[in-house]
Amino acid sequence: MRPESMNIFDDLRGQNMVVLENAKQSGRKVVGMYCAYCPQELVLAAGAIPVSLCGTKDEPIADAEKVLPRNICPLIKSSFGFAITGKCPYFYFSDFVIGETTCDGKKKMFELLGQHKPMHVMHLPQGADRPGALPWWKEELSLLKERLEETLGVTISDDSLREAIKLSNSEQLAIKELHDLNKFDPAPLSGLDLLTATFMKGFNVNKLEGIALVNKLIGEVKEVIEQGGSPFQPDTPRILLTGCPVGIGSEKLIRLLEENGGSVVCFESCSGYKTLDMLVDEDERRDPLEAIAERSLKIPCSCMTPNEGRLDLLGRMIGEYRVDGVVDLTWQACHTYNVEAELVRGYVKDNFDIPCLHLETDYSSSDLQQLKTRVTAFIELLDKRWT
């Protein structure tokens, strides 16, 4: 049985567009972002609405390829295509766009995108283990703060930042609680539903309403658990999905895994658990910018070197979610995740002795059959009910 609230989540993206348009008309400012490193706390503190910009569908890629090289990742091409064709309403409504240097393709793409919207690119350090990394990143946050104040004509006070931190933290805690419910076996939520509910965060205009909705869903999922319900049969292989971020439109791998006998119980990606697992320190005596900087530098993204935090998180999740196998997804031409796949594979094999499948694909359906063979074979290998 599917929780009733999921129907609301299904339609949310479209509905929020109307809410956003109304908010715009009443004078609210909108700030578009692409990445987990982008501090939504600063946007909230500026009294603006933070939104995630579209970039998870195949549809606008052909348009992007008129400008961008073909052999870069689908996420960059999709984001750019959505923006230049006006097909992403969130980009269209944005007064300001924040980019970040998480990869070479993205940072150069942002230079082209800057021709379409006022934009600011945050410069990330290459890793978090150098003494200069935190001061550098904090400095980048104050630079962004200045740009936001200047562009939106507002002042961001420490108090408003502290309030925004609390709001963001509570949103994150709610989504994390939802994820954690999938530690039950069999999982009460399908991977696809978990993704749909999590994805809401990026385009939810009213944060409090969004949090309330997630809490409502949590209540329903708890009922599902109490009644022993699940979209899966007992003993369905439990799979952890890691690697590049997945969104609505690029969920083909989750579909394939679940349609062919698996249960995607959790996501270790920046669209999933990777960013849910740590909060910004709410200590009132601290400089709020430093607290935000500290938190986001802990995100174990493959753009960082070294990135041991990802392996630690993977290990914890493998244990806590009691997964039978790990699937590591790389979007084509995402070099950092592609190379890191070798570390993930070794780590999973050496420490947990469970199978790990690395797949490289894009948003298109051109390789569905080949992917299906790999995915099905992987599930046949995990499925104790058969062998």
Partner 1 sequence: MITVGIDVGSITTKAVLMNGSAWQSTLRPTGYSPRQAGREVLDELLDKAGLAQADIDYIIATGYGRITLDFADKAMTEITCHARGAHHLAPGADLVIDIGGQDSKVIFTDGYGNVTDFSMNDKCAAGTGRFLQVMAAAMGVDVSELAELARGMEPVQISSMCTVFAESEVISLLAEGVERGRIIAGIHRSVANRVVAMAERIGKGELIAFTGGVAKNEGVKEYLAKALGREIVVSPESQLAGAFGAAIIAREKLLKAR
Looking at the Cβ atoms of 15 and 370, the one nearer to partner 1 is 370
Cβ 374 to partner 1 shortest distance, Å: 6
Q: By CB under 8 A, name the one of 112, 167, 343, 381 that touches partner 1.
A: 381
C-beta separation of 120 from 32 below 8 A: no
Cβ 304 to partner 1 shortest distance, Å: 24
Q: What angle do CA 243, 246, 252 make, to 5 degrees?
A: 105
Using CB under 8 A as the criterion, what x/- string covers residues 340-359 for binding partner 1?
---------------x----
CA trace torsion 79, 172, 295, 23 (10° rounding): 50
How far apart CA 254 and CA 191 sit, in angstroms, is 7
How far apart CA 340 and CA 243 sit, in angstroms, is 9
Residue 380 found at the interface with partner 1 (CB under 8 A): yes
Using CB under 8 A as the criterion, what x/- string covers residues 269-298 for binding partner 1?
------------------------------
Tokens representing 208?
Answer: 């409090």
Residue 25 found at the interface with partner 1 (CB under 8 A): no
CB crowding 350-364: b at 16 or more within 10 Å, else e:
eebeebbbbbbbbbe
Residue 365 found at the interface with partner 1 (CB under 8 A): no
Q: By CB under 8 A, name the one of 11, 115, 369, 384 that touches partner 1.
A: 369
Helix or strand (DSSP H, E) at 319: helix 308-320
Judged by CB under 8 A, the number of residues near partner 1 is: 13
3-class DSSP string for 52-78: ECCCCCCCCHHHHCCCCCCCCCHHHHH
Residue 373 found at the interface with partner 1 (CB under 8 A): yes
Cβ 341 to partner 1 shortest distance, Å: 10
What does the binding site for partner 1 look like in residue numbers (CB under 8 A)? 355, 366-367, 369-370, 373-374, 376-377, 380-381, 386-387
